[in-house]
Amino acid sequence: MSSSAQESAGGRLAGKIALVTGASRGIGKAVAKLFAREGAELILVARTTGGLEELDDEIRQINGKTSLLVPLDLREFEAIDRLGYALYERYGRLDVLVGNAGDLGTLAPVGHIEPAEFQRVMDINLTANWRLLRSLDPLLRQSEAGRAIFVSSSVGSQARPFWGTYSISKAALEMLVKVYAEEIKSTKIRANLIDPGRTRTGMRAAAYPGEDPMTLPTPEAIAEKFLPLASAEFDGNGQVIKAQ
């Protein structure tokens, strides 16, 4: 085992099982690598097998562990249900859920949005996260301190022209998580959201093609904000935490 792997064995997430969606790039990838350095055993979910395999190689260099790779389009809702059953049989619990995967859609006036695109963005940003909670809630309840963290955006609470589909999906996601947080107040689970703010990601570049990415915080810097919310000591619930 490498020296970095030895260090991660005693990290702040040592012994924890964490699932990260949208793990093959951007913030999801940075969170996965940070959690690996902190000793977590990882379940990595993304659409691209190649991206997952590359990340798995990087994580083995970090902590000496092989992650469970789950190539999955989150619009395959029945597959999310099956994932919950499979993880229960394999692990019996889940300590941390990071719902990071998202779809920007096309920035356009509300009246110009194609129905199929509206549905796709809602499916990924909202419905998939509900299906994940529905499928994985029983596993979070088996944890000594289950933690669910979802990625939101400032446009989920601030109306901005041409951001309709994405804004609506994030507003609904925030309400979903806040309702869930109310329902699990008497349990050991805590559910919160992170608003990462301006971050150097592919999604940001698509939304602001003329922006200099070097002026933005890196995904690695934003990932640091996820770590406290994954800890058993953090007792906040139903909050939207601003990373910047």
Q: Is the pLDDT of residue 149 over 50?
A: yes
Report how far apart, in Å, the C-alpha atoms of 97 and of each of 17, 42, 134, 217 are: 9, 10, 12, 24
Say what the pLDDT of residue 202 is.
87
Q: Is the pLDDT of residue 29 over 90?
A: yes
Question: Helix or strand or coil: residue 71?
Answer: strand
Per-residue pLDDT tens over the stretch 97-119: 999 999 999 999 999 999 999 99
Q: Is the pLDDT of residue 7 over 60?
A: no
Confidence of residue 208 (pLDDT cuts 50, 70, 90): confident
7-11, 86-90, 180-184: the lowest-pLDDT one: 7-11
Q: Which DSSP symbol is given to 10?
A: T
Which of the following is catalytic: 88, 166, 180, 208? 166
166 among known catalytic residues: yes
Bridge partners of 97, per DSSP, are 19, 148
User: Which tokens hold the place of 159?
Assistant: 């109306």
Q: How far is Cα 244 from Cα 7, in angstroms, rounded to an integer?
A: 28
Over residues 14-21, the mean pLDDT reads: 97
Per-residue pLDDT tens over the stretch 132-142: 999 999 999 99
| Average pLDDT across the chain, whole number | 94
Q: How far is Cα 174 from Cα 150, in angstroms, rounded to an integer?
A: 8
**Residue 175: phi, psi to the nearest 5?**
-65, -40
Over residues 220-234, the mean pLDDT reads: 96
Query: In the chain, which ranges are E strands?
Result: 17-21, 41-46, 68-71, 96-99, 147-151, 190-195, 240-242
Confidence of residue 2 (pLDDT cuts 50, 70, 90): very low
pTM exceeds 0.85 for this model: yes
Confidence of residue 199 (pLDDT cuts 50, 70, 90): confident
User: Residues 160, 219, 123, 128: what is their CA dihedral angle, to the nearest 10 degrees?
Assistant: -130
**Domains (range + CATH), the chain:** 3-242 (3.40.50.720)
Confidence of residue 203 (pLDDT cuts 50, 70, 90): confident
Say what the pLDDT of residue 12 is.
94
Q: Is the pLDDT of residue 207 over 50?
A: yes
With CA atoms as reference, report the closest residue to 139 among 109, 95, 172, 73: 95
Question: Helix or strand or coil: residue 180?
Answer: helix
Q: Is the pLDDT of residue 1 over 50?
A: no
Say what the pLDDT of residue 9 is.
58
